[in-house]
Amino acid sequence: MPPMKYGEAYSLFSNTTGSNNTATGNGEFGNNITGNGNTANGDSTLSFNLSASQNTATGCQALHVNNADNYTATGFQTLLSDTSGTENTAAGSQALLENTTGGDNTATGISTLSQNTTGSSNTASGGFALFNNKGGSFNTATGLNALHNKINASENTAVGTQALNNNISGSNNTALGALAGQNLTTGNNNIAMLLNEFLKEHRTVAEQQTKVAEQESTIAELNTTVAQQQKQIEAFTATVQKVSDQVALSKPAPQLVANA
C-alpha cells in the first residue's frame, strides 16, 4: 500500500499490526504500520509515523514527521520537524518546532526552543525561551525571552524575564532575575545573581539610611531647641528673682509703737 501523501485525510490509513493507537481528526497516523500505544488528536498529527510507539500528539501537525518513541507534543506544530529525537516534551504553539534529532528536551510556552535542531537536555519555560537555540545542550531558561538568542552554547541557567537574553555562544553562565546578564553575549562562567533585586535592595537600604540621618538631624535640632529654651527659662527665673529681691528691699521697714 503506498504511503499517504500530505493532505490525505485518512486516520491510521496504512496501519497493519500496530496496536492500542487512538487517532481523532484528519490524517492522523496515516502511515503508521507497526507503532503501538500512540495517541493523536488534531489534523495531520503523527502523519508520517511508521513504527514509533508511546507518543502523544495533540494539535494540528503536532509530531507531524516523527518516527521516534516516547514523545508528548501539545499545541499547533509542536515538534513538527522531529524525526528521530528521543523523549522530548513540548507544550505550546510551535514549541520545539524545528527539532530533528535532539532528545530529552522540555519546552513549555509559545515558541520555546522553536529553532532547536540537535540540542539535547534543555528545559525552556516561558514564551520564546531558548528560541534560537540550535545545538546547545543542558540549558535551563525560565521566563519570557530568557536565553532567547542563544545558538550553540551549553550549560547556561537563566531565570527571569529576558535573563541572558542576548547571550549567543557563552557557556556556564547563571543569571537570576529580570534582565540579569542581559548584555552578556559570548562570555563564559559568569554569575548575575539577582542583580536587579540586589540593586532594589541597595536602593532601599540607602533610602532607609537617608531617613535615619534625617531623623538624627531632627533629633539634634530638637535637643538644641530644648537647650536654648532651658537657658531662656533659667534667665527668666533669674530675672524674676531679681525683681522679687528689689520689691522686698523697697518695702518700708516695720515701725515699733510703744504703749503708754
Tens-digit pLDDT profile for residues 177-194: 888 888 889 989 988 865
Domain that holds residue 165: 82-193
241 domain-assigned: no
259 domain-assigned: no
31 domain-assigned: yes
Positive or negative: CA dihedral 160, 203, 189, 165: positive
Residue 66 shares a structural domain with residue 111 = no
In the chain, the amino acid numbered 252 is P
Residue 118 shares a structural domain with residue 158 = yes
Residue 161: C-alpha distances to residues 32, 47, 119, 182, 250 (Å):
41, 36, 22, 10, 90
Residue 65 shares a structural domain with residue 87 = no
The C-alpha cell at 229 is: 529654651
Q: Of 14-18, 124-128, 245-249, 253-257, where does mean pLDDT reach its minimum?
A: 253-257
- The rounded distance, in Å, linking the Cα atoms of 77 and 91 is 10
The answer to pTM > 0.85 is no
Does pLDDT of 216 surpass 50? yes
Confidence of residue 28 (pLDDT cuts 50, 70, 90): low
115 domain-assigned: yes
What is the count of structural domains for the chain? 3
What is residue 3's predicted lDDT score, i.e. its pLDDT?
A: 46
For the chain, what percentages of helix, strand and coil (3-state, to nearest 5) are there?
A: 20, 15, 65
Query: Is residue 193 classed exposed, middle or buried when 0-12, 13-18 and 19+ CB atoms within 10 A define those classes?
Result: middle
Domain boundary among 48, 70, 92: 70
Does 191 or 128 have the greater pLDDT score? Answer: 128
21 domain-assigned: yes
- The rounded distance, in Å, linking the Cα atoms of 55 and 2 is 23
Q: Mark 231-257 as b/e (b = at least 16 C-beta within 10 Å).
A: eeeeeeeeeeeeeeeeeeeeeeeeeee
Residue 179 shares a structural domain with residue 89 = yes
Residue 117 shares a structural domain with residue 216 = no
Domain boundary among 39, 70, 101: 70
